[in-house]
Amino acid sequence: MWAGAERATRAADGRGALIGQELKQTKATDDLVAGWMAATAVFNDLILRNLIAQYWFGNRSTYTIDGLSYRTFTVTYADGIRESWPVLPNYRLSSDKLSQTPIPGSMRP
């Protein structure tokens, strides 16, 4: 299972994800909407490739908002910067998968 978790974590890198070229070129310095769209596209790619369970196995980090704990999804942008986004609890049933704002201070090289 560890190999699957590593593969899923690598798949969260927007530079190699099976998403549109414009989204692959999103940088951490782009506006909030561009970052959210790229992160959402990569997250959906993991779901479509049946890698989300492996991703959760390798990434158990959470973020608390108003006393509620949310799983986190970390995407790597075209410039190699990573950023984490809270995952909505009903992501399986909703068209919106990620919070509209990333986790404050989560951007890192």
Domain positions in the chain = 2-59+74-80
Higher pLDDT, 8 or 20: 20
Query: Average pLDDT over the chain, rounded to whole?
Result: 92
Please write the tens of the pLDDT for every residue from 35-84: 999 999 999 999 999 999 889 988 899 999 999 999 999 999 999 999 99
Sign of CA dihedral 52, 55, 60, 61: negative
pLDDT, position 98? 97
Query: How far is 60 from 3, CA to CA, in rounded Å?
Result: 16
Alpha helices (H) in the chain, listed in sequence order: 2-11, 21-24, 32-48, 52-58
